[in-house]
């Protein structure tokens, strides 16, 4: 992944970690996609809506659960063992408090988000917040040491065990609660594995000077994460509160499918990139080169995939989930296109955080939220659930992307360089979208249309990879430990 200017040992460890992280994410996402298809055919859209209310509530709290202090372990220039006990104390104390608060407030939260039946599901999911606080430090230590193999095993156990438990309980008639219990069981077992493999012993302690520095570092990130969550999940909150659980169920299914490319292409890099960028933070020129290279390669693969899913939304939904989920297709058209921008933004987010520009990230996320909420409310009022997705897509293109380009330029990444990295994949992706849209309306049955759209995407990606073959060769060498 890296360029000249990075120590060979760091490049080797980072590239191996990226390989494990990519394998981990692909297997987990394929597995959860398969289980999700089965569950969608067993459960009703309203069940997914009830579970979505609990999930949104849990993610809202997780966005600021440990005040952002665990990321300091990844970025800490000295031995992180000095700050780990204090991080543990802050993480566990805040997560315990928030878990209790959420259990008490669950009835009012569920009613406000569209369905009071979600109350017990929210209360069960609240326990995941405490688990997250307990494993924040071990997870950060594994990331810092590029121990993605161990992280992959823990994540796979979480995904497959949780999905299996959910499926069994769903077939037994537990409805939305089956999804919550499965998620919780997987999290508990995964947490035990992370503790077992943590490079540092798990201890509690308190250092006032360290705590002050941790809070100063983490608070802007925690606030930014809250705004990031609000920007990313305000659409679901608006759909649930305005249209009810069933509409939210359709929206969440489309959101999950649109998030599949984000998980496959962005999350593996996010597991490795902050630590790798941190090793280069004293060489700004090398950081810029590596950032642009990663951005180019992400765009070559992710943009065509996202736009192919968007163009072929109707046959994809019908083939995978069945005709009863067809209303989700109109939502997926916009959310899949939005996913491409999300992949870019998450890479930029990590890059700016490593540079210490968390304040700029906070401002952008606040602007995103303030612009998106009225746009989504207007969209929902005009065309229902698809309007929430369309409103957010418009704001991302017109408002958020220009803001990120301004901040990147101040950080040394020229706007022209950013545009040059993404323009060809974007134009190719738009042409692919048109082709997939035509396929979806002229080819039947849905399985043939979905396969034809997927094949078209592979052709476009292969052509783009040939165009950027030098970057592809560098990545191959890096994955073998041969590039510095």
Residue 20 tokens, joined: 């494990």
Q: Is residue 128 part of a domain?
A: yes
- Tell me if 128 sits within 8 A of 59, measured CB to CB: no
How far apart CA 252 and CA 238 sit, in angstroms, is: 12
Q: What is the pLDDT of residues 277-293, one digit of tens each?
A: 556 556 567 778 878 88
Q: What is the pLDDT of residues 236-257, one digit of tens each?
A: 889 988 998 889 889 989 998 8
Q: What is the pLDDT of residues 83-130, one digit of tens each?
A: 778 888 888 888 899 899 999 999 998 888 878 888 999 999 899 889
Q: Is residue 199 part of a domain?
A: yes
Percent of the chain at pLDDT > 70 equals 80
Q: What torsion, rounded to 10 degrees, do the Cα atoms 467, 24, 256, 98 define?
A: -130
Question: What confidence score (pLDDT) does residue 290 get?
Answer: 77
Is the pLDDT at 141 greater than 80, yes or no? no
Based on the domain organization, do 227 and 303 belong to the same domain? no
Mean pLDDT computed over 11-25: 58
Question: What confidence score (pLDDT) does residue 315 get?
Answer: 95
Based on the domain organization, do 175 and 320 belong to the same domain? no
Which of 242, 273, 295 delimits the end of a domain?
242
Q: How many CB atoms lie within 10 A of CB 15?
A: 23
Question: What confidence score (pLDDT) does residue 267 get?
Answer: 63
Question: What confidence score (pLDDT) does residue 406 get?
Answer: 94
Based on the domain organization, do 365 and 459 belong to the same domain? yes
Based on the domain organization, do 405 and 356 belong to the same domain? yes
Question: What confidence score (pLDDT) does residue 181 get?
Answer: 92
- Compute CA distances 169 → 42, 178, 186, 346, 378, whole Å: 11, 5, 14, 35, 39
Based on the domain organization, do 254 and 226 belong to the same domain? no
Number of helical (H) and strand (E) elements in the chain, helices listed first:
20, 0
- How many structural domains are present in the chain? 2
Q: Is residue 32 part of a domain?
A: no
Based on the domain organization, do 150 and 16 belong to the same domain? no
Is the pLDDT at 341 greater than 60, yes or no? yes
* Per-position DSSP letters for 89-143, written without gaps between them: HHHHHHHHHHHHHHHHHHHHHHHHTT-GGGHHHHHHHHHHHHHHHHTHHHHHHHH
Of 231, 228, 128, 123, nearest to 185 by C-alpha is 128
Based on the domain organization, do 324 and 201 belong to the same domain? no
* Mean residue pLDDT across the chain: 81
Mean pLDDT computed over 418-426: 93
Which of 242, 277, 312 delimits the end of a domain?
242
Based on the domain organization, do 254 and 229 belong to the same domain? no
Based on the domain organization, do 163 and 189 belong to the same domain? yes
Based on the domain organization, do 131 and 280 belong to the same domain? no
Is the pLDDT at 17 greater than 80, yes or no? no
How far apart CA 371 and CA 394 sit, in angstroms, is: 10
Q: What is the pTM of this model?
A: 0.74
Q: Is residue 28 part of a domain?
A: no
Q: What is the pLDDT of residues 157-199, one digit of tens each?
A: 888 888 889 888 988 888 889 888 998 999 899 889 888 887 7
Mean pLDDT computed over 362-377: 90
Query: By residue range, what is the domain housing residue 227?
Result: 43-242
Question: What confidence score (pLDDT) does residue 297 get?
Answer: 82
Of 82, 186, 84, nearest to 132 by C-alpha is 186
- Compute CA distances 95 → 65, 128, 222, 444, whole Å: 6, 9, 13, 51
Of the given ranges (226-235, 314-323, 361-370, 438-447), which has the lowest mean pLDDT?
226-235
């Amino acid at each position: 992944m890296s360029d000249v200017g990075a120590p060979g040992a760091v490049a080797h460890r980072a590239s191996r970690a990226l390989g494990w992280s990519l394998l981990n994410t692909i297997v987990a996402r394929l597995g959860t996609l398969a289980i999700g298809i089965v569950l969608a055919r067993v459960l009703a859209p309203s069940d997914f809506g009830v579970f979505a209310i609990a999930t949104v509530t849990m993610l809202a709290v997780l966005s600021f659960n440990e005040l952002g202090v665990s990321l300091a372990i990844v970025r800490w220039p000295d031995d992180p063992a000095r700050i780990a006990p204090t991080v543990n104390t802050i993480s566990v104390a805040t997560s315990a408090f928030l878990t209790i608060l959420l259990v008490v407030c669950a009835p009012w939260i569920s009613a406000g988000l569209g369905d009071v039946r979600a109350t017990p599901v929210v209360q069960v999911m609240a326990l995941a917040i405490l688990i997250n606080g307990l494993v924040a430090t071990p997870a950060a230590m594994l990331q810092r040491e590029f121990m993605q193999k161990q992280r992959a095993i823990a994540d796979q156990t979480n995904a497959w065990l949780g999905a299996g438990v959910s499926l069994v309980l769903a077939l037994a008639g537990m409805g939305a609660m089956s999804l919550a219990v499965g998620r919780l069981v997987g999290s508990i077992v995964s947490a035990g594995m992370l503790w077992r493999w943590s490079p540092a012993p798990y201890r509690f302690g308190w250092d006032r000077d360290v705590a002050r520095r941790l809070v100063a570092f983490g608070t802007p990130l925690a606030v930014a994460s809250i705004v990031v969550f609000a920007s990313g999940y305000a659409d679901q909150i608006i759909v649930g509160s305005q249209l009810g659980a069933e509409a939210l169920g359709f929206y969440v299914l489309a959101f999950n499918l649109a998030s599949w490319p984000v998980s496959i292409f962005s999350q593996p890099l996010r597991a490795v990139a902050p630590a790798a960028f941190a090793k280069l933070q004293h060489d700004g020129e090398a950081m810029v080169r590596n950032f642009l290279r990663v951005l180019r390669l992400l765009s070559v693969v992710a943009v065509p995939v996202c736009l192919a899913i968007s163009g072929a939304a109707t046959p994809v939904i019908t083939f995978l989930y069945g005709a009863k989920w067809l209303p989700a297709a109109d939502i997926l058209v916009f959310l899949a296109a939005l996913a491409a921008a999300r992949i870019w933004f998450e890479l930029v987010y990590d890059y700016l955080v490593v540079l210490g520009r968390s304040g700029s990230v906070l401002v952008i996320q606040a602007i995103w939220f303030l612009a998106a909420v009225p746009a989504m409310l207007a969209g929902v009022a005009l065309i229902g659930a698809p309007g929430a997705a369309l409103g957010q897509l418009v704001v991302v293109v017109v408002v958020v992307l220009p803001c990120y380009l301004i901040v990147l330029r101040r950080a040394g990444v020229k706007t022209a360089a950013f545009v040059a990295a993404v323009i060809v994949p974007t134009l190719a992706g738009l042409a692919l979208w048109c082709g997939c849209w035509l396929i979806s309306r002229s080819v039947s049955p849905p399985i043939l249309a979905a396969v034809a759209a997927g094949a078209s995407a592979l052709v476009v990606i292969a052509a783009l990879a040939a165009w950027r073959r030098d970057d592809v060769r560098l990545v191959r060498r890096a994955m073998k430990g041969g590039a510095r």
